[in-house]
Chain A
């Protein structure tokens, strides 16, 4: 008989090993699935994990990894702070949209004047948009005790409606032949968020994501805010006795995660996407939740998880292209990764015991 026994304290070895074991198990199970689809499993896994990094055209796909991972990491860092404190901001997608709308509106208001002030002004506006949108669930929770999960999630759909309205109305490109969508900000030099070094994919948003990882690590380990966050997450009552104001903590955590999501939206609309359109958001805000957990809510872990997630996206496209694998199989593969991670995670807090319980 096999049973689970709670460990006296979480196992450090398993905490570190979990992601690697999960990736390994995903490769095995995914390989089986690919084989059942009649594809060479080794080639499929090599295409997904190896080719984007070291394949024939890696000089193109490596920078693309950063472009794809940048917003995921930036948003996930903000979310992880709240998640560790037990504050569940599920609406980063909406905050991301609002950041993009605020930033694009700012840029377009100044268009076509060229000035160094445009880009910084857009950054401020983007952060502000995200923070304001996050303040709605935050303040409602503090004041009326509403559930931030529901409110922040529902506000995503409001944000999407607002985005459609902006793309069709106020921010529509007057030279766009009547089609929805704003002007292309990437073609407006003062507003464009281009690669800092051409061809590297390293735009301001990616740079900021890396800075956020470092700052996040310092805050969580060295700063009082990190201490309060961890305390509130482990024991809310102890946190109150320890002088942590729960309302203050909610506002700060939601504000930081909303602000970072807004910034991600700003860098995306001014760079890779270039323009606001009805379909501007492609789910970074939701995928970032997965990235945050995949990265164990730890900044360094999130950095790696974001890159891994981006790898499965880009590698997945290559697998579709080179091996005619259906998209659904790629998505199953991504799902397996999360599934195994959560399953193996059990080993962090529990250990298997074989045989009968001694005291039974």
Chain B
């Protein structure tokens, strides 16, 4: 079907690019979210960032958003509609939007795109993410100290490097403070699905876990832990303070506010450039939510100390000696992991049982 080759080129060159841009003095900023803004997790935090932009720039900006956009052709349509309606900067806040972002960015070279957690960039596409694994290390320390059954449950979303990195970081610290500790990972294949997340949490609790870590965005695992009684959890992406002081004993908070404010500022003053940002605890992009009184004082102090050391750059959560799951050497004594390996991480470290689905 060679005529299709011709069409491929013709479609790419389609007339969208010439679409008239609505011009007024306000800078229009668009957001597309993978979940509902009310998920109280991932998308909620991005929406907090959107509100921070409005608070900072007031009448200078106009923000728009579309929530619960499925990854795939629907995302591309929403991105295109945003660009057509004159958005100058668009934040696409899920990994799965990557191809849609790249395709749309090609059609609208004058619109700037910011893609969260992706790895493909272009002149008008930046990527940004946070070093969540730094927070995971702190969580792992608390989890390892707090568990009495020595079984820690972990609700994984998708087996992608970001999630695997979090599991490894938490496990390494937990193991350091408690050599008996064992991780059970359940893959939910969703970012946000309260029913599935609750089911996963219940299955892990039934399997003896008394600590649940989650890489999914709803508070359903917190509710399941509360119902079960003596189980502790950690807020994910957002503080989830409604479940404090127990089951939620601490949290990892994604704080995008400063980054979003800076990037919008760069568009307004014309200094925006395609960049790759990966910030952690030190910049404030990753925050550790308040550690509640359900955690003994000495554990709390140890956790805060680890957090401070990571922030100061004295401790790297991935410091050797660390072997891979199959026993082969990964990091030598004192060696720290390079960003490239971390970004493509597709293996468990030694001691974690089970396989990464593939």
What residues make up the interface of A, taking CB atoms closer than 8 Å to B?
A: 56-57, 59-61, 64, 67, 116, 118-119, 160, 164-165, 168-169, 172, 177-180, 184, 189-190, 192, 194-195, 198-199, 268, 272-275, 277-280, 282, 314, 317-318, 320-322, 324, 326-328
B residues bordering A, Cβ < 8 Å? 1-2, 4-5, 7-8, 10-11, 14-16, 19-20, 30, 36-37, 64-68, 70-74, 77-78, 80-82, 84-85, 95-96, 99, 119, 158-161, 189, 344, 346, 357-358
* B65 touching A320, Cβ below 8 Å: yes
Residues of B within 8 A of A274 (CB): 73, 99
Given A60-B16, A282-B72, A282-B74, do A321 and B85 touch, yes or no (CB 8 Å)? yes
Q: Which residues of A contact B357 (CB under 8 A)?
A: 164-165, 168-169
Q: Which residue of A lies closest to B37 (CB)?
A: A326
Q: Please state if A314 and B84 are interface contacts (CB–CB under 8 Å).
A: no
Q: Which residue of B lies closest to A161 (CB)?
A: B189
A60-B80, A64-B77, A116-B1 in contact; A278/B189 too (CB < 8 A)?
Answer: yes
Say whether B119 contacts A177, CB under 8 Å: yes
The reply to whether A199 and B72 contact each other, CB–CB distance below 8 Å, is: no
Q: Does A194 lie within 8 Å of B72, measured CB to CB?
A: no
Instruction: Give the residue of B5, B30, B72, B95 whose beta carbon is less than 8 angstroms from that of A273.
Output: B72
Is there contact, CB below 8 Å, between A168 and B1?
no
Residues on A with beta carbons closer than 8 Å to the beta carbon of B11: 194-195, 198-199
Given A189-B1, A321-B82, does the pair A179, B14 have CB atoms closer than 8 Å? no
What separation, in Å, do the CA atoms of A64 and B68 have in the docked complex? 19
B64 to nearest A CB, angstroms? 5
Q: Which residues of A contact B358 (CB under 8 A)?
A: 168-169, 172
7 contacts between A and B (CB under 8 A): A60-B16, A60-B84, A67-B73, A165-B357, A317-B77, A326-B37, A326-B67
Q: Is A314 a contact of B77 with CB atoms below 8 Å?
A: yes
**Pair B64/A324 contact, Cβ less than 8 Å:** yes
Do B85 and A57 touch (CB < 8 A)?
yes
Q: Are B72 and A190 in contact (CB under 8 A)?
A: no
The residue on A at minimum CB distance from B34 is A279
B76 (CB) vs chain A CBs: closest residue? A272
Question: In the docked arrangement, what's the CA distance between A279 and B74, Å?
Answer: 12
- Of A172, A184, A195, chain B has the most CB atoms within 10 Å of the CB of A195
Q: How far is the CA of A248 from the CA of B8 in the complex (A)?
A: 44
Partner of B14 from A160, A180, A198 at Cβ < 8 Å:
A198
Find chain B residues with CB under 8 A from A64 CB: 77
Q: Is the CB of A194 within 8 A of B81?
A: no
Whether A192 lies near B66 (C-beta < 8 A) is no
Q: Quick check: A60 and B64 within 8 Å, CB to CB?
A: no
Q: Most chain-A Cβ atoms within 10 A of its Cβ — which of B2, B15, B71? A: B71
Give bound CA distance, A119 to B81, whole Å: 30
Nearest chain B CB to A261's CB is how many angstroms away?
18
Docked CA distance A287–B193 (Å): 19
A195 to B346, CA, bound (A): 37
Chain A residues near B72: list those with CB within 8 A: 272-273, 277, 279-280, 282
Which of B5, B19, B71 is the one whose CB lies under 8 Å from A60? B19
CB of A199 within 8 A of CB of B15, answer yes
Closest A residue by C-beta to B30: A321
Closest Cβ–Cβ distance, residue B77 to chain A (whole Å): 5
